Chain A
Amino acid sequence: MKRIFQHPTESLTGKKYWRSLGQLADTPEFRGWLEREFPQGAAEMEGGEVTRRNFLKLMGASTALAGLGLAACRRPEMHLVPFTKGVEWSIPGKPLFYTTARPTRRGYSPLVATTHDGRPTKIEGNPLHAVPKGSTDLFAQSSILDLYDPDRAKKITNAGKVTDEAAFEKALEGMLKDAGDGSGLAFLLEDDNSPTRQRLMGLIEKKYPKAMWAVYEPLGEETSDVAYGKDMEVLPQFEKADVILSLDCDFLGSEAEVGTTRAFSARRKVTGPDSKMNRLYVVENRYTITGGISDHRLRVPASQVGAFALALAAQVAEKMNDAALGAAVKAIDAGEVKGRGSVPRLDPDWIKYCVEDLVVSKGASLVLVGERQPAAVQALVAAINAALGNVGKTLLGRKNTDMPTVRIAELARSMTDKKVKTLFIVGGNPVYNAPADLDWANLQKSVPTVVRLGFSEDETSELATWNVPLAHYLEFWGDGRASDGSYVSVQPMILPLFGAWSELDLLAKIAGLEKPTGPELVQETFKQIAKPGDFYTAWAKFLHDGFLANSAVKPGALTFDSAASLTFVKERFSTPATGDDVYEVVFTPCSKMDDGRFNNNGWLQEIPDPITKLTWDNAAQISPATARKLGIKIENKDGEHYEMIEIQLEKGSVTLPAYIAPGHAEGSISIPLGYGRRVVGRVGAGTGFDVYPLRTTSSPYYVVGAKVRLTGDVYKLGLTQEHFALEGRGGDLTREGTVSEYKSKPDFAKTMGMDGHIPPNVSLYSHPTLNNPELSSHPSTTATGQRVNPGWDATGWGMTVDLNSCTGCSACMVACQAENNIPIVGKHQVMNGREMHWIRTDRYFASVDENDPDPEMISQPLMCQHCENAPCETVCPVNATVHNEEGLNVMVYNRCIGTRYCANNCPFKVRRFNFFDYNQRDVMAGKADKNGHFGVFSGVYEWNLISEKGTADTIKMQKNPNVTVRMRGVMEKCTLCVQRIQEAKIAAKVAARDSAEYRIPADSFTTACAQVCPTEAIVFGDIYNPESAVSKLRAAERGYRLLEYLNINTRVTYLARIRNPNPKMPGAEKIGAAMRSHHGEDKHEAEPKEPQA
């Protein structure tokens, strides 16, 4: 709203001041006096003539000054202009928050976007919505960068020539005019459950009933309709499950959705020794996030998971007296059960005790199967669940009412038959990722007209007739359904940056409607779904909340069709045979690139994979034993060079670096998809290796029968963590115990590692701030019972990290990157060990015997620990890193000269140095070539005096204006989001008005990493406020601090991981052993510690 400032008008009757009455009168006497007083300038003042000489002098001087003087050296004039028309709610300098939702193939994730002056800068989960409750994932966090990607498609093109919207609309009309009943029309879409899209598809179908609708998701699920009937979505109820067995199902990682992670972790939370934790068994071929957090894990090649399921089914049938299942299992060829060739034997004990456990908690157990395992395995697992009585209890369902679509193979068939005249491809990238046997590139070329809505110029747009830029979800009006079925809104935050069209725009046009200019299409759908009485209020609430209240669809009963399923299993079940030199290749979803769609996202490229810690590339993951067999060097001294292997399959071969992955199944090779893009922006160019050509319609997940040979070449990979083992420091750094240990000794974590040996801290000197009685007797401190008050303020910021909840998903890393304007540095700098992430996720493989093929995995997020007695602060010669009154270790960029001494003296190595001017230099220029060679004077190495500086304008728009963009040569590190603290403090002070007493309400805000975390592993807050979550968690008996013996008094407390093993299981004794092995068997009682004053 426009503000009109009412200035007080000048008083007409007030005083006027004059020097004398003469001045007031302006009499001749006065003028005469003036002349006497200022004789020099009097003539001019009198308005006397300007002499010719004086005129020339003045003009000459001013010309000289104008031409030669400073006028020419002025900085270009820049204006900071306020809005001429105020934007609703907008206060300059304050962000605005709007709800929206992001489309994914698992439904829409409800979000809140932060906008600064009309620029969306950060994404958070919608705190009002029941599914995310404020948390998000890696992809939602990084999606903001996609919006500003300078390599986005920007122009509408026809046959490669740039044209305009009008031309496209005209051409579209022409295409549709001849469409008739639509028999020549075909659509290839991505999975999306938007009701408006459904509505438009319905309209189009009415108009063109013969049009073909296909949906393709390269990482979509293998669905089988036999088990639960057609179009049933199966919804596992994690909160009800006591025992979970996952068969190659990465339900916390690549198959995760924020809701699943939340539901699962709710049953993993430990608040005290009596907490009832669930128990998780995982069977998988490679370490996944799910496997990492499991209680028991069995390494089985992906192709043998079916065999495992069969063995499991046999025992479950026997224990549960399920004759039908037993008969079905028996009917399958015995060879399938036992496996063929040299398939590693499935541990019978493992299966036996696992089944026992499942049976004990029947009806409260859950067997999950990977969504890309073959349909027969899925049906078999459904039968197992049914036998265990889980269907209808821990497994519920929901009917999917979306319009049926066909698969890409069917579309390909009609394209081969030349039935398709006009093909609309919205999103996706089939030329890159369609199954290799379809030969999609040639098929697409054979279609007369291909219209492509694409987000960027890619492989598919290269072969399309018409290319229209596709809008980002922050640019259009839309709607969708979240994973709980609730109806959510998609609001634009900004006009399409490059005149992009949304999918709905195109469908509306095809349906014969006008291209929407506002939310009218969605409003239409909203009216149908919400049936509101008062539309405008309901609509405003829908936009404000981001979802329609009470629109979630309650999961309903699920009925298992036993007869059909078991017949299906009997017919279709087969386990591929393997042999000594036959390897299985598993195409895994990339934890960062997904199916390759995020390939041009620098944040995701540089986030290390949660398991492999690999950036900018994919690699063939092989177990150490298999690698040894293949002759691949395991000891990699400089941690950079990786041997290249050639993997040969019937369909062709691919050459890529081999990566030794601890805990990987033997004879199995996992390769993440989504790399090696041929046509991609500058970020994605030259990253990784494309393995889509090996993938076919019949074997989209794994292929058995690969031949592997070493090529003799090496390749450089950029890893952020080179060292995987704990080096016997498990007890110190990562602490873990089992439920029984925890029950017998709840504070077991306090005395693990060196903490049991710390001698009393006898010092000649008292710490001026730590031990000052006056300061430590601050009333706010004693009230909370805290040990010391290191500061002078009533608030003190701290953090806890629960290792029991952290899965290692790394969403916190991107959230931090988005919040704090952290630059990416490129692969070459990562190889040099210079990545900038303020928070990192350390991942260790822990085992007592270092050659144990089954090490356990633990992830540990690590940010600045904000030591109260910080080693970095004393060594900085220029006082650039100091402690503030609230216990933060703050970094003063302006003051920093970059000696790097603080980073050296940081025991956690969390400080990051700007080795180059990453925000001014093009880190993407001058990439290392395939052999890792790097141009000596290219990219950031180009002589600074001649290189181009600056960054793309769109990238600048993403930056958080509340956080300094750092220049080169300064140190930076986690600030505990000090900008958010300040904002909260200002708000509290404003609320307190004139009172000096102000207190930020407990847990009223949090840091970016804590906010994003779907498992609430990271908790931040005021440690001196007894009501805050963090002050309670800090007091938890599981709490310990890193490197306590250094007397650095860290402000971050870690909570030890608790695992819930089944004591009968093989390998149960190994759980946590690596953390305890530090001191062998001898049990130490904590030596008395001198209480610190």
Chain B
Amino acid sequence: MPEAVVTLETQKELQRVPLVTNARSLNWITDKVATIAESGTPAWWWMLFIPTSILAIVGILCIAYQISNGVGVWGENKTVGWAWDITNFVFWIGIGHAGTLISAILFLTRQKWRTSINRAAEAMTLFAVICAAIFPGIHVGRVWMAWYLAPVPNSYGIWPNFRSPLLWDVFAVSTYFTVSVLFWYTGLVPDLATMRDRAKSRVKKFLYGIFALGWRGSNRQWRHYEMAYLLLAGLSTPLVLSVHSVVSFDFATSILPGWHTTIFPPYFVAGAIFGGFGMVLTIMLPARLLYPQIDDMMTRQHVDKMTKIILLTGSLVGYAYLMELFVAYYGANPYERFTFFHQRASLGFNEGGFYNWAYYCMMTCNVIAPQVFWIKKARSNYIVVFIICMFVNVGMWFERFVIIATSLAQDFLPSSWRHYHPSWVEIWTFCGTFGIFLSLFLLFMRFLPMICAFEVKAVTPAADPHLHHPGSEEPTGPAVGVLGDHAAKEGHH
């Protein structure tokens, strides 16, 4: 834990920027995190929650209409059997990657900066997976028979087809969701106990108390907690990589030109992390604006690190895009070449290149836009970061759309080529999932500690038993002496 061991001997320029700026005290952290959920509902919250929940209801009505009438209310046809439904599914699942990655992988690799963002990111993961799970659930023709996907022993002796990637999907996504919920909830327990202890009303005390599972903060409990958290992190880590790999198998194991690609698993995982971090920033930057008190915990440093990850994964994805083109060229399979150089990367906007605007949109948003993050100034400008993150969100949606639609619309036999147009139901269902996602996130912000207070406390200098250099008078006091003005500047922008 080198960043915690900051000694006077370290050169100033080599010293790390503290994770909590302005040398906040432990009490200050608890107070700031808890008051978000404890204070009265701000007006802006309602201003956001009412439209998002209306949007969610619109989405749910669209789903009800679609289930009632049939998949025909969407725009799919005999050639393009999947379109927005699976695009949205992969899009949301991708977004659901950042949270667990931050919580699990960064935990195992001892990246302490994760502490202030992991809870919100994990919550975001859960809500994104909920949104994702809607689509494979409702896109089937007979929703009421979807339980056939479950390996239920039945009198006919028919099992699901274990060769089908769609079934692997079911297992992968449900496992991922379950583990993510457990991981998130386990991490919440100590903070829920804090909330319980601070709660004034009996109802709150009771509810937080129930969910705090009798946490008392004893040494024994901490020992168990740490072990459980470590195990869950270990369990989640392969899942982060496996879920999107499995999702990519839906395409990679098929025979369609443009889907049948061995590069898909790593490329999808990189894309998912890329898109996930984009969405974390999209959510966290406004949250920071709305709760200026958390500035000292969610600092410029966090944004900077996340943009670097976006830059890295964006470039990985860009490499994958180019490699796909190269392989299509080098493979000399006319069907593959057609998909890549006529459907996707063609310059002519003719009939064949019906979707190439979407391909170029994807390229611009995912590969070119994040390159801005090479510039430090751009990384530290929240407006620029936010705009690029929006590009990432759009681009990642288009990536899935391009993969699905361009491959399906024009595959082997020109006689069955057909374009796809979304119907209003599909469009509003997708908008509805944003409503669901944002509504859930707003509820989360409102009722639960959105920052993992106890973990943040653990990374403050005050929590470090070795910090107390001789001469320090306040054991829990600010570490201003160490980092001086620089840190103060970091905290106030």
A862, A877, A912, A1043: the one within 8 Å of B166 (CB): A877
**A908 / chain B contacts, CB cutoff of 8 Å:** 412-413, 416
Taking a contact as CB atoms under 8 Å apart, the answer to whether B141 and A844 are in contact is no
Is the C-beta of B140 less than 8 angstroms from some C-beta in chain A?
Answer: yes
- Least distance between B273 CB and chain A CB atoms (Å): 26
Q: For the complex, give the distance between the alpha carbons of A113 and B382 in Å.
A: 77
Interface residues as binary, A265-291 with B (CB distance below 8 Å gives 1, 0 otherwise): 000000000000000000000000000
A860–B413 Cα gap in the complex (Å)? 11
Shortest Cβ gap from A440 to chain B (Å):
42
State which residues 895-918 of A face B: CB under 8 Å: 895-901, 903-905, 907-909, 911-917
Q: A-side binding surface: helix, strand, loop or mixed?
A: loop
Residues of the B chain whose Cβ atoms lie less than 8 Å from the Cβ of A834: 72, 77-78
Residues 333 to 391 of chain B near chain A (Cβ within 8 Å): 333-334, 338, 350-352, 354
| Contact, CB under 8 Å: B167 / A877 | yes
Judge if A536 is at the interface, Cβ distance under 8 Å: no
A725-747 contact mask (Cβ, 8 Å, vs B): 1 or 0: 11111000100000000000000
B316–chain A nearest beta-carbon distance, Å: 27
Residues of B within 8 A of A875 (CB): 163-166, 253-254
Q: Is the CB of B69 within 8 A of A899?
A: no
Residues of chain B lying within 8 A (CB to CB) of residue A943 = 65, 68-69
Contact A915–B71 (Cβ < 8 Å): yes
The residue among A637, A899, A936, A1048 with the most chain B CB atoms within 10 A of its own CB is: A899
On whether A733 and B351 interact (CB within 8 A), knowing A829-B72, A833-B418, A877-B160, the answer reads no
Nearest chain A residue, comparing its CB with the CB of B414: A723
Complex Cα–Cα for A470 and B179 (A) = 71
* B78 contacts A725, C-beta separation under 8 Å: no
Complex CA distance for A637 and B350, rounded to whole angstroms: 8
Q: Determine if B408 is an interface residue (Cβ-Cβ < 8 Å).
A: yes
Residue of A nearest to B136 (CB): A899
Stretch at the interface among B105-113, B145-153, B287-295: B145-153
Nearest opposing residue in chain B for A900, CB measure: B81
Task: Say yes or no: A833 contacts B79, CB within 8 Å.
Answer: yes
Chain B positions 411-426 with a Cβ under 8 Å from a chain A Cβ = 411-419, 421, 424
Name the CB-closest residue of B to A724.
B414
Given contacts A727-B338, A832-B75, A877-B170, contact A842 B68 (CB under 8 A): no
A1038 at the binding interface (Cβ < 8 Å): no
Bound form: Cα–Cα A876–B139 in Å: 14
Contact, CB under 8 Å: B69 / A901: no
* Chain B residues whose C-beta falls within 8 Å of the C-beta of A722 in the assembled complex: 417-419
Contacts of B71 in A (CB 8 A): 898, 900, 913, 915, 969
Q: Mark A311-333, 1 if CB is under 8 A from B, else 0.
A: 00000000000000000000000
Which partner residue on chain A sits nearest B142 by CB separation? A969
Interface positions, chain B 144-202, Cβ under 8 Å from A, are 145-146, 148-149, 158-161, 163-167, 170
Q: Could you say which of A832, A900, A904, A943 has the most chain B C-beta atoms within 10 Å of its C-beta?
A: A904
CA distance A915 to B163 in the complex (A): 26
Verify if A940 is at the interface (C-beta below 8 Å from B).
yes
Whether, in the assembled complex, A348 has its beta carbon less than 8 Å from a beta carbon of chain B, the answer is no
Question: In the assembled complex, which residues on chain B have CB atoms less than 8 Å from the CB atom of A871?
Answer: 254-255
A729: chain B residues at CB < 8 Å are 334, 412-414
Q: Report chain B residues within 8 Å CB of A724.
A: 414
CA distance A909 to B81 in the complex (A): 10
A903/B81 in contact, CB under 8 A: yes
Distance to closest chain B CB from A21 (angstroms): 47
Residue contact A879 to B160, C-beta cutoff 8 Å: yes
Chain A nearest CB from B26 CB (Å) reads 51
B24 to chain A, nearest CB (A): 52
B338/A901 in contact, CB under 8 A: no
> Which of A833, A878, A903, A911 is the one whose CB lies under 8 Å from B161?
A878
Please tell me if A754 contacts chain B, counting CB pairs below 8 Å.
yes
Query: CA of A754 to CA of B335 in the docked complex: distance in angstroms?
Result: 10
A897 touching B146, Cβ below 8 Å:
yes
B283 at the interface (CB under 8 A from A): no
A722-B418, A969-B140 known; A876+B145 contact, CB < 8 A? no
Does B69 contact A844, Cβ atoms closer than 8 Å?
A: no
Interface contact A914-B77, CB-CB below 8 Å: no
A584 to B240 alpha-carbon distance, docked (Å)? 68
- B140 and A897 form a contact (CB under 8 A): yes
Asked whether A968 is an interface residue with its Cβ less than 8 Å from the other chain, the reply is yes
Q: Is B37 interfacial (CB 8 A cutoff)? A: no
Q: How far is the CB of B339 from chain A (nearest CB, A)?
A: 12
Closest A-chain residue to B73, C-beta based? A941
A472 at the interface (CB under 8 A from B): no
A835 touches B161 (CB 8 A): no
- Check if B68 sits within 8 Å of A903, measured CB to CB: no
Do residues B334 and A915 form an inter-chain contact, with CB atoms below 8 A?
A: no
Contact indicator A968/B141 (Cβ below 8 Å)? yes
Contacts of B256 in A (CB 8 A): 904-905, 907
B414 touches A905 (CB 8 A): no
Q: How far is the CA of A401 from the CA of B407 in the complex (A)?
A: 63
A917's nearest neighbour on chain B, judged by CB, is B70
**B residues within 8 A CB of A829?**
72
Q: How far is the CB of B481 from chain A (nearest CB, A)?
A: 62
When each residue 914-925 of chain A gets 1 if its CB lies under 8 Å from chain B and 0 otherwise, what string results?
111100000000
Q: Which of B66-102 contact A (CB under 8 A)?
A: 68-73, 75-82
Asked if A840 and B415 make an inter-chain contact with CB atoms under 8 angstroms apart, the answer reads yes
Given contacts A638-B419, A908-B412, A909-B411, contact A878 B148 (CB under 8 A): yes
Least CB distance, B86 to chain A, in whole angstroms: 9
Interface string of B46-75 (1 = CB under 8 A from A): 000000000000000000010011111101
User: What 0/1 readout, one digit per residue, does chain B (260-291) give for beta carbons within 8 Å of chain A?
Assistant: 00000000000000000000000000000000
Task: Tell me the nearest residue of chain B to A1048, going by C-beta.
Answer: B255
Q: Which of B140, B161, B254 contacts A905 (CB 8 A)?
A: B254
Interface residues of A in 833-876 (CB under 8 A from B): 833-835, 840, 842-844, 860, 862, 871, 874-876
Q: Give the residues in chain B near A1043, CB-CB below 8 Å.
A: 412
From residue 117 to 147 of chain B, which have CB atoms closer than 8 A to chain A?
136, 139-143, 145-146
Q: Is B70 in contact with A916, judged by CB distance below 8 angstroms?
A: yes
Q: Assuming the A-B contacts A635-B350, A875-B254, A904-B81, are A969 and B141 also in contact, with contact meaning beta carbons closer than 8 angstroms in the complex?
A: yes
Q: Is the CB of A909 within 8 A of B416?
A: yes
Given the complex, which residues of A lie within 8 Å of B351, measured CB to CB?
Answer: 635, 637, 723
CA distance A168 to B91 in the complex (A): 71
Please state if B141 and A896 are interface contacts (CB–CB under 8 Å). Answer: yes
Whether A198 sits at the interface, judged by CB under 8 Å, is: no
From B69, B78, B141, B352, contact of A909 by CB (8 A): B78
Q: CA A971 – CA B293 in complex, angstroms?
A: 56
Quick one: closest B residue to A860, CB to CB?
B415
Interface string of A1012-1055 (1 = CB under 8 A from B): 00000000000000000000000000000001001010000000
Near B by CB (< 8 A), chain A positions 690-748 give 721-729, 733
Q: Cβ of A876 and Cβ of B161 under 8 Å apart?
A: yes
With both chains docked as a complex, state the minimum distance between the C-beta of A949 and any C-beta of chain B, in angstroms.
12
**Chain A contacts for B75, CB-based, 8 A:** 832
Residues in B whose Cβ lies below 8 Å from that of A899: 136, 139-141, 166
Rounded to whole Å, the gap between the CB of A608 and the closest CB of chain B is 11
Which of B72, B146, B148 has the largest count of A CB atoms less than 10 A from its CB?
Answer: B72
Across the interface, which residues of A come within 8 angstroms of B333, CB to CB?
Answer: 754
Q: Which of B237-257 contact A (CB under 8 A)?
A: 250, 253-256
List of B residues within 8 angstroms of A915 by Cβ: 70-72, 76
A-B contact pairs, 24 of them (CB 8 A): A639-B419, A721-B415, A724-B414, A725-B414, A829-B72, A832-B75, A844-B414, A876-B161, A876-B166, A877-B149, A877-B161, A877-B167, A879-B160, A899-B141, A901-B81, A904-B81, A904-B254, A905-B256, A917-B70, A940-B69, A941-B73, A944-B68, A944-B70, A1046-B255
Known: A878-B161, A968-B142. 13 other contacts (CB 8 A): A722-B419, A725-B414, A727-B352, A832-B72, A835-B78, A862-B413, A876-B161, A897-B141, A897-B148, A898-B71, A900-B71, A903-B81, A969-B70
- Which 5 A-B pairs rank lowest in CB-CB distance, beginning with the nearest? A898-B141, A969-B141, A833-B77, A915-B72, A900-B81
